[in-house]
Structure 1
Amino acid sequence: MVAEITSDTFEESVLKKKGLVFVDFYADWCGPCKVTGPIIDELAKIEAYNNISFGKLNVDDSMDVAVKYNVSSIPTCILFQNGEPLDTIIGLRDRKGFEEVLKKHL
């Protein structure tokens, strides 16, 4: 499952969470984000990634978080570990591209 994360829930959902959290920074009007979203949904269902929490954050609704993590282009995905940014993917990737990053940190 991919959780909807907001400015109000970011600290609890990402910063205080132990382990890996993969956050998809997106906007409803962003064409490439509409391609990325379903890929992230698929990845969240794969058993090999059960130890990763997946979330999505709408940058229009939570601009403060996007600014804090220097998200200037979307889609941007940030993999956090124990509340700290570990890896960043900027731009559209296919499923294999996302999996390469995730597998690197398992």
Structure 2
Amino acid sequence: MIKHVTKSTYEAEVLKSSVPVVVDFWAAWCGPCRMQGTILEQLDKEISADQAKIVKVNVDEEGELAGTFGVQSIPTLLFYKDGKVVNKAVGVRDAAALKKTLGI
């Protein structure tokens, strides 16, 4: 299940995660974000909890958090491993590209 994270939950959910994490910075009014969201929801059903997890950050509600990570365009995906950003993608990515980036 995809969780929505905030500034207060980001450290626990992302930085201290024992599995790789995809962070989706998005907004409800963003058409490409909705497309990416559908792809991420499908991917979330295909991967197991010990492979990776997917979380979302609403940039309208968490502008400070988005600014901390230099998010200027959405959707932006940050890929974390061991608490560090290992890859970044701006724009819609298909499931195959996401799996490749995650090494799944």
> So what's the TM-score if we normalise by structure 1?
0.88
Match of 2:39 in 1: 39
Number of corresponding residues? 104
3-state SS, counterpart of residue 17 of structure 1: coil
Could you list the runs of 5+ residues in structure 2 that have no partner in the other structure? none
Shift of 1:96: 2.4
- The runs of at least 4 consecutive aligned structure 1 residues that moved more than 3 Å come to 47-50
**Identity over aligned pairs, percent:** 35
- Rounded Cα–Cα distance in structure 1 between residues aligned with 2:29 and 2:7: 19
Q: Does the aligned pair in 2 maintain the 1:43–1:49 contact within 8 Å? A: no
Which amino acid letter does the alignment assign opposite residue 40 of structure 2?
I
Could you list the runs of 5+ residues in structure 1 that have no partner in the other structure? none
Structure (1/2) with the larger helix percentage: 1
C-alpha distance 98-16 of structure 1, shift in aligned 2 (>3 A): same
Match of 1:94 in 2: 94
- Rounded Cα–Cα distance in structure 1 between residues aligned with 2:54 and 2:92: 17
C-alpha distance 43-49 of structure 1, shift in aligned 2 (>3 A): farther
Which amino acid letter does the alignment assign opposite residue 24 of structure 2?
D
1:15-54 correspondence to structure 2 within 5 Å: 15-47=15-47, 50-54=50-54
**Alpha-carbon RMSD:** 1.6
3-state SS, counterpart of residue 87 of structure 1: strand
Shift of 1:18: 2.1
3-state SS, counterpart of residue 8 of structure 2: helix
> So what's the TM-score if we normalise by structure 2?
0.90
Which amino acid letter does the alignment assign opposite residue 100 of structure 2?
E
- Rounded Cα–Cα distance in structure 2 between residues aligned with 1:70 and 1:43: 25
Query: Residues 32-69 of structure 1, C-alpha deviation per residue, up to 9 Å, x if partnerless?
Result: 00100010011111146741011011011111111111
